[in-house]
Amino acid sequence: MARARRARVLALTLRAVALTAAAVPLLAAAAAAQAPVSAPPIDAHSQGSLTASINLAWVLVGGFLVMFMQVGFAMLETGFTRSKNAVNTMAMNLMIYPIGIIGFWMTGYALMMGGVAQWPSLGATGIASHEMSLSLGGHTFGLLGARKFALLSVSHDPASLAMFLFALVFMDTAATIPTGAMAERWKFSAFFIYGLFMSMFLYPLYGNWVWGGGWLAQLGVNFALGHGHVDFAGSSVVHMTGGVTALAGAMVLGPRIGKFRRDGAIGALPGHNLPMAIVGTLILAFGWFGFNAGSTLAASDPRIGLIAANTMLASAAGAVTALLYLWHRYNKPDVAMACNGLLGGLVAITAPCAFVTPAAAVLIGAIAGLLVVAAVLALERRFRIDDPVGAVAVHGVCGTWGALALGLFADGSYGEGWNGVSGPVRGLLFGDAGQFVAQLVGVAVNLLVVFGLAMAFFVIIERTIGNRVPAEVEWTGLDALEMGSDAYPNV
């Protein structure tokens, strides 16, 4: 085809052109409308507020999609656990949402985001904020926010309220992860208190350090480590925090009865509804688009196209490598592990999704798919940790990998000015070793601090009300004795 024609013919193929028709007349009508329609509100908007509007809508829709991931987690975890505990597993996934909302509303949001004065993409400026920080050797290190408790000081600010919603559903994702690793033996009262601890304090702490302007974000300006610890949508902030807390919880709880036998054999204890778990996986993949693409906080940032495509590509690569590897090794296509591979790919791409090319996304996801298999096997066989749904492997291990992958593959095409450091974000392979170090530091701090605090919390609970149901409850099932409801009473 000749160039001129091609430009024309193909463009025509695209339907987008059909819009001309639609747009022009609308305009014409708008201009020509003689009806003394008293000024509709639409003319009152400035260009700036229109952009803020579409960004606000984007953040909200993204937040809704992330909230919907609760359904995915609920189905995944319940499908992978036994029917005698189905109500309990569902109930934890259901209730972590409201418990987390109340906790995050009361203190969590304030501690995490109380030092953030503005959300420029949402058109808001100058909210009173306060960050508790430390000054050392001429540097300032943010430690924790200290304003906006119970949203009182921002109760009519749309940007803050949308950010509350968006930050909350991310927190809830982190908070729901341990319910998988600790399923089938966790006391509901202990879980309830955990929900408050996570939403009111633990998640907001690390969240502040990376996303609330805290000291990990400041590693760049303070120590010239790249742009400081960068995590686009939460490989470390959300998934590592959830996975590391899950690890501490599973260690304190100990394995389910029958998991690790005296003779060294490992019990399978299969879940009760694999189709439910598969549906949950697909729902998570759906909601993840909000997770990652929503994290621009701006539909006006065209990077959302790259982010969404990368998210999809990494998930696919993870699912395919996990499936093929186990198919090759055990001669059966293990669907449950393909689910974990898909999720591992998603977790891993979460931090780097905006900074890497599609080809790198495929590579990151493919590695995550293998990692998750290795981690599931190692945790069970080598470390003898009982994690019924593989939450530690998927979220903890692949979250770590994702945060590091950003430090390797960020290609310098995005992130200008991120965390107050000029220039785009570059990984080790693109010339910035400091960025990789910042990623390492962030990951190490998560492992140390989050793990340490979670462990301290679970130990305190252990010594007070106890974390674990009595053995007879576990034998009979938590549904009957702990929850007082059967999952499937009259089938």
User: What residues from 118 to 177 belong to the interface with a copy of itself (CB under 8 A)?
Assistant: 118-126, 129, 131, 133, 140, 142, 150-152, 155-162, 164-165, 168
Among 76, 101, 198, 353, binds a copy of itself (CB under 8 A): 101
The neighbouring-strand residues paired with 132 are 144
Smallest separation, CB 194 to a copy of itself (Å):
14
- Contact positions with a copy of itself (CB under 8 A) in 273-312: 273-276, 278-279, 281-283, 285-286, 289-290, 293, 295-306, 308-309, 312
The stretch near a copy of itself (CB under 8 A) out of 240-248, 259-267, 351-359, 378-386 is: 351-359
- Contact positions with a copy of itself (CB under 8 A) in 326-345: 330, 332-336, 338-339, 342
**Using CA atoms, how far apart are residues 187 and 88, in angstroms rounded to an integer?**
9
Contacts of 293 (CB under 8 A, 6+ apart): 62, 304, 307, 308, 311
- Position 406 contacts a copy of itself (CB under 8 A): no
- Distance from chain centroid for Cα 195: 17
Smallest separation, CB 264 to a copy of itself (Å):
23
| Token couple for 341 | 């591979």
By beta-carbon proximity to a copy of itself, the closer residue of 78 and 451 is: 78
Cβ atoms of residues 216 and 445 within 8 Å: yes
SS3 230: coil
By C-alpha distance, which of 128, 424, 385 is closest to 255? Answer: 385
Contact mark string toward a copy of itself, 198..237, x via CB under 8 A: -------------xxxx--xx--x-----x----x-----
SS3 313: helix
Smallest separation, CB 93 to a copy of itself (Å):
8
**Using CA atoms, how far apart are residues 64 and 116, in angstroms rounded to an integer?**
23
The stretch near a copy of itself (CB under 8 A) out of 238-246, 258-266, 358-366, 400-408 is: 358-366
- Position 13 contacts a copy of itself (CB under 8 A): yes
- Position 388 contacts a copy of itself (CB under 8 A): no
What is the three-state SS of 254-276? CCCCCCECCCCCECCCCCCCHHH
Smallest separation, CB 97 to a copy of itself (Å):
7
By beta-carbon proximity to a copy of itself, the closer residue of 21 and 265 is: 21
- Contact positions with a copy of itself (CB under 8 A) in 44-73: 44-58, 60-61, 63-65, 67-68, 70-71
By beta-carbon proximity to a copy of itself, the closer residue of 64 and 223 is: 64
- Contact positions with a copy of itself (CB under 8 A) in 235-274: 270-274
Among 258, 420, 466, 470, binds a copy of itself (CB under 8 A): 420
Smallest separation, CB 181 to a copy of itself (Å):
19
**Using CA atoms, how far apart are residues 281 and 343, in angstroms rounded to an integer?**
7
**Using CA atoms, how far apart are residues 422 and 419, in angstroms rounded to an integer?**
9
By C-alpha distance, which of 197, 153, 157, 182 is closest to 392? Answer: 182
H or E segment at 141?
Answer: strand 139-145
SS3 232: coil
Smallest separation, CB 247 to a copy of itself (Å):
26
**75-84 b/e (C-beta count within 10 Å ≥ 16 → b):** bbbbbbbbbb
Q: How many CA atoms lie within 13 A of 309 on its CB side?
A: 11
By beta-carbon proximity to a copy of itself, the closer residue of 251 and 337 is: 337
Smallest separation, CB 110 to a copy of itself (Å):
13
